[in-house]
Amino acid sequence: MSQAPRILRKQTGNFLEDFVPGQVFRHKGGKTVTEGLFTTFTEFAMTANPLSKNARYARAYGYQGLVCSPGLTMLVAFSQTVEDVSENARANLEYIDMRFGAPLYVGDTVEVETRVLGIKASSSRPNLGIVSVQSTARKNPGERDEAIVLTWQRKVQVYKRDDAASLNEGEVPPDEVECALWLPPYSKRTDYKSLAHLSSRDSYFEDLEPGTLIEHSRGRTMTDEHIHLTAVLDNTSQVHCNQFMIDLDPQQYVGGKLIIFGGIPFVLCLGLSSPDVGDNALGDIAYATGRHTAPLFAGDTVFAATEVLGKRDLPGRPDLGVVETRLLGHKFELDSGAKHDDAPPGWKKTRIFELERATAIKRRSHYAG
């Protein structure tokens, strides 16, 4: 170019003053689940449920093939909303009323819409506020098997572009979104018992006792692989992958380093819990609420535990029951000065994640009796 070019730098994502209650985003992109994506996340997270590992098992149960784990379904759907909703967020505050619908398979394409439910200024920090949204993920729009796979609300703390901008404060009620977990019918002709050795022996409905805290035995150290994993999800938020931006002004960023995308500990905690509480599930029904309570960084080792809160029958399905749990994620941090009952000497235990969870679980009586 002979002349100095006009320089253009496009904004990506919205800032607090851009949101309007009732506004709807039809998110860009959409995402077809490939076998590459499927394997990466199922196995990264140490998912143990054979529905996501063993196609002959999944088909015998009445699914079309390998089934995306709840964590993968959540990651695919959620990530589609990042650019419009949270590219300029400081933190994701809460997941609310997340409900699963149709099973998600390899080959399915997920597209997501989000409705803005509310905008609220921060009383203490003039450059921040809270945006509430409701998102719904649909698979295969316009095709015969079009269906909702996930719906959820979340609250997210978003930066203003201009501290002096006025906001469209207010709120609208959420839509009623019909979304209930699809369950394959129990078939008298299927020899479920011949498959029972493929899932764990002691994680049936009958085994899970309210009032129990199950400490899942495995831990998993995160590496800088999180940069790649986050890109694989189309989550382009720069706080996860742009080290140069962090180096220019570390104090601006949580921990002064690249923070791991919350979807990673979300799916990893689900995976770590899976041999003990998910192996005999036919699916997660809903997450009433969930939140990240501390940041996760490369080098941290993630552990998980599950509190069994309650259990109940699932109407119309004598072969299944609903187990209500609280999934807890934690890591250990050096803490030379103190002694903690729940951590080895010199360390403290830091809660990183919690999720209220209702799961549809097989009864041993019907599947392995």
- Phi, psi dihedral angles at 191 (to 5 degrees): -90, 75
Q: Considering the complex, what minimum distance in angstroms separates the CB of residue 273 from its own copies?
A: 11
| Of positions 185, 211, 315, 316, contacts its own copies by CB under 8 A | 211
Among 128, 172, 177, 232, binds its own copies (CB under 8 A): 232
Output DSSP code: residue 72: H
Per-residue buried b or exposed e for 258-286, using 16+ beta carbons within 10 Å of the residue's own CB: bbbbbbbbbbbbbbbbbbbbbbbbbbbbb
Residue 151: Cβ within 10 Å count: 24
C-beta neighbour count of 256 within 10 angstroms: 13
| Closer residue to its own copies (CB): 123 or 336 | 336
Q: Footprint of its own copies on residues 261-300 (CB under 8 A)?
A: 275-276, 279, 299
Cβ proximity to its own copies: between 180 and 231 the closer is 231
Residues 6+ apart with CB under 8 A from 42: 52, 53, 68, 69, 72
Per-residue tokens: 126: 């003039």
Q: Tell me the three state secondary structure of residue 84.
A: helix
d(CA 320, CA 365): 10
Q: Using CB under 8 A, which of 22, 43, 126, 293 touches its own copies?
A: 43
Pair 310, 324: CB distance under 8 Å: yes
Q: Which two tokens stand for residue 189?
A: 């002709």
Supply the minimum distance, in Å, between the C-beta of residue 122 and its own copies. 25
Q: Give yes or no for residue 50 binding its own copies (CB under 8 A).
A: yes
* Residue 225 binds its own copies (CB under 8 A): yes
243 binds its own copies (CB under 8 A): yes
Pick the stretch among 26-34, 123-131, 164-172, 351-359 that binds its own copies (CB under 8 A).
26-34
As measured in angstroms, the least distance from the Cβ of 124 to its own copies is 29
Instruction: State the minimum distance, in angstroms, from the CB of residue 140 to its own copies.
Output: 7
- Give the residue with the Cβ less far from its own copies, 146 or 171: 146
Of 118 and 233, the one with the shorter C-beta distance to its own copies is: 233
- Determine which residue in the list 57, 61, 287, 367 makes contact with its own copies, applying CB under 8 A: 57
Stretch that binds its own copies, among 96-104, 168-176, 239-247, 286-294 (CB under 8 A): 239-247
Residue 31 in contact with its own copies, rule: CB under 8 A: yes
Sites for its own copies among residues 128-157 (CB under 8 A): 140-143
How buried is 215 (Cβ within 10 angstroms: 0-12 exposed, 13-18 middle, 19+ buried)?
Answer: exposed
Report the residue from 17, 18, 111, 356 that binds its own copies according to the rule CB under 8 A: 111
CA distance 146 to 137: 11
Task: Copy the structure tokens of residue 26.
Answer: 């039809």
Nearer CB in complex with its own copies: 146/313: 146
**Applying CB under 8 A, which part among 69-77, 126-134, 170-178, 227-235 lies near its own copies?**
227-235
Q: Which of residues 181-210 bind its own copies (CB under 8 A)?
A: 197-200, 202, 209
How many Å apart are CA 357 and CA 98, to the nearest integer?
9
Least distance from its own copies to the Cβ atom of residue 354, Å = 13
CB-based contacts of 9, cutoff 8 Å, min separation 6: none
* Residue 236 found at the interface with its own copies (CB under 8 A): yes
Half-sphere exposure (Cβ direction) of 234: Cα atoms closer than 13 Å: 20
Please, which residue, 53 or 366, has the CB nearer to its own copies?
53
Q: Does 248 bind its own copies (CB under 8 A)?
A: yes
356 vs 309: CA distance, rounded Å:
9
Nearer to its own copies among residue 125 and residue 312 (C-beta): 312
Size of residue set near its own copies by CB under 8 A: 90
Residues 6+ apart with CB under 8 A from 199: 48, 49, 50, 279, 280
* Sole window of 7-15, 127-135, 155-163, 354-362 interacting with its own copies (rule: CB under 8 A): 7-15
